[in-house]
Structure 1
Amino acid sequence: MGLLEIIEYLPKYENKWDYFVENESMNGTFLQTRRFLLYHPEERFEDCSLLFEEKGNLVAVCPACVVKEEGKKIFYSHLGSSYGGLIISPRLNRLEKVMELINSLETYLKEQGFYKCILKPTMNLLSNPRQDLIEFCLSFCNYIEYKELNLYLDYEFYPEDVVSAFSKLKKRLVKKCNNEGIELRRLNEEKEISIFHRILCRNLKKYNTIPVHSVKELIDLSRRFPENIQFYGAFLSVNMIAGTMVFLFPKYKCAHTQYLAADPDYSSISPMTFVYYSMAKKFKEVGYRYLSWGIATEHLGEKINYNLMNNKEEYGSRHILNHVYEKQFI
């Protein structure tokens, strides 16, 4: 092992960890802070997060939890967040240093009896500079790479009149929603977030699934991160008929729609189109560079949701890869 010292995470490192992730890393977001991960009940995950120091200075962290597979331990970064992975200082972003980081991690994991490592890095819209070096080094070290296809808007190449980038169908639907008098409002009250969650549950029921987050967790997250997590609803008169939960990353001038849902009873007027339109318009107006719609693939890229892909492409979206890396040691 080289000059890197690996330290197992303890609660006393919470402030140090969060400051590094949000202020000193090149690819960290609030989703990898302890403040975010702690919204989970303590018993949900067995934490095994790590800090990496070089000459006493924190240069990397890796949020992670233990997953058991047939009695064997997996180092998983991280089941409790959209993104985990190796969060590094820009000064560590050199080939030899990243290789040392990965080799040090592997040596530690083998010593601790882990048989597999799974890393879900931040998407490259949320990294400055991009993580191409980390991705190359992981592949070079024989990690299996899985790819999901994410869709997003890049406002540097997007028209001032956002509707002009939409397909003919989406243009017609936006006009229809405007004629119906649908309005977008930010949701601030717990009651409003609860109504949005009910719409989300109804929306997902047709796929025989439920939201990852309970309504209690959504409300908790909105309190913990009022500047990073926002809710918006599309209203027809006093009735909420669609909505979205949005993650904001001001450091990277990027917003991401975590949930998008519409009440099935109002599908004839397509309020979901109005939400897409409103988000595209809003984040261009506030000066963001990117708006991410999320992935349109499933099962680590093995399946394409063609309907969802086509829907998101009709807003003038571009494509970017999300990666997951896996390596088995034994």
Structure 2
Amino acid sequence: MRVFRYQESQKEEWNCFVKSSRNATFLFERDFMDYHKDRFIDCSLFVLSEKGKLLGLFPATIDTAKKHVVSHGGLTYGGLLLRHDVGTSQVMEMLAAIVSFYQEMKMSFLYIKPIPHIYHLCPAEEELYVLFRIGAQLSARGVSSTVDLGVPLTFSTLRKRKYKAAQSSDLKINIKGDILIFWELLTETLNKTHGVAPVHSYEEISRLAESFPEEIQCVTVTDFENKIVAGTLLFLTPRVAHAQYIAASGRGKELGALDFLFINLLSSFQYRYQHDLTPRYFDFGISTENQGHYLNEGLIFQKEGFGAHATLYDEYVVNLSSNESSFSRSPKAQ
């Protein structure tokens, strides 16, 4: 195996592979990955066979002070992006080459956040097996809540009761909601509830939405005065509609606006899925904090009320200084 560090001049080649990969999403296209390149040092890799065939990509960032490599430091998930025809033995060789490359850079730890299986166009969990083989340790586990749109939808009694009440409140859903107004609601809600700001600034998310108009969708709920009372920002991939952000005003909560929004959204996505027009899963996002050691039970209860069940977002750490992470072969890194 041969490994090369990504250069900006290779953007087109990188993006072309991402679009053909069996487990990548648009988050790995350079226009998305690089939106915060001022905050991260990119150290992504191309992985090729000895004959020069591109087998995979490894999106990654490095912290030179800590000597840490993270795949990926600015994204929800990372890990190897694979060709459709790459097998388990090849993935073992690929990860060996990647480990060797970062060891030569004198990095100490490699953190990998494998892409959850719901995003895969077809099974692509070879990396998980290899991580087990090289002694990688589970360092974080987030619990997300996912609805399978391929089976009948089920809603809890509470969610159905709030939805029924909301139906009499003259609420309307806007599938092309105003991101600026939603962002103001989101920012106010997060600050008031948790004392934090959204991960993305409005300038960042608006630029991303402009770059990915088919993949980033803002859906809002307005009341009879045409005022936004709730909404969500969706990241749409071939297999998953992911709720990246969710917010509701105080009035929106009183009206059951989120119940109105998500029951309608889930029903709409399921109808479209049945007609081959939509992703298979709807993912509400994680309800955990502190590397998974804290579970927000109230939040996950609400999500599970829409018929969602657990999908894990894991992170593994490889000690690059330990013999336990060594492979039986010595791959060539360049």
Q: Same fold (TM over 0.5)?
A: yes
Aligned residue number for residue 149 of structure 2:
155
- Within-5 A mapping of 1:116-155: 116-145=109-138, 146-155=140-149
| Residue in 2 that maps onto 1:57 | 53
How many Å separate the matches in 1 of 2:165 and 2:234?
Answer: 24
Shift of 1:286: 1.7
Give the match for residue 228 of structure 2: 240
Name the TM-score, length of structure 2 as normaliser: 0.90
Is the 8 Å Cα contact of residues 177 and 274 (structure 1) preserved in structure 2? Answer: yes
**Higher percent of residues as strand:** 1
Structure 1 contact 32–83 (Cα < 8 Å) conserved: no
Measured against aligned partners, the alpha-carbon deviations of 1:280-318 in whole angstroms (never above 9, x if no partner) come to: 122112213211111112222211110111111111112
Which of 276, 284, 289 is the equivalent residue of 2:262?
Answer: 276
Which secondary structure does the structure 2 equivalent of 1:187 belong to? Answer: coil
* SS of residue paired to 1:90: coil
The one-character-per-residue Cα deviations of 1:129-154 (angstroms, maximum 9, x if unpaired) are: 33332112102211112322111111
Residue of structure 2 in register with 1:162 after alignment: none
| One-letter amino acid of the counterpart of residue 290, structure 1 | Y
Q: Which amino acid aligns with 1:35?
A: D
The 1-side partners of 2:254 and 2:18 are apart by 44
- State how 1:125-274 maps to structure 2 within 5 Å: 125-145=118-138, 146-159=140-153, 165-187=154-176, 192-205=178-191, 206-237=193-224, 238-250=226-238, 252=239, 254-274=240-260
- Cα displacement string for residues 184-240 of structure 1 (whole angstroms, at most 9, x for unaligned residues): 00235xxx2111011111221111111001111111111000111100100102101
Query: Which secondary structure state, in structure 2, belongs to the residue aligned with residue 227 of structure 1?
Result: coil
Letter in 2 for 1:292: D
User: Which one-letter code corresponds to 1:185 in the other structure?
Assistant: N
Aligned to 2:300: 309
TM-score (norm 1): 0.91
The Cα shift of 1:82 comes to 1.8
Who is 2:33 aligned against? 37
Runs of 4+ more than 4 Å apart: none
Q: Which structure 2 segments of 5+ residues have no match?
A: 322-334
Aligned residues between the structures: 312
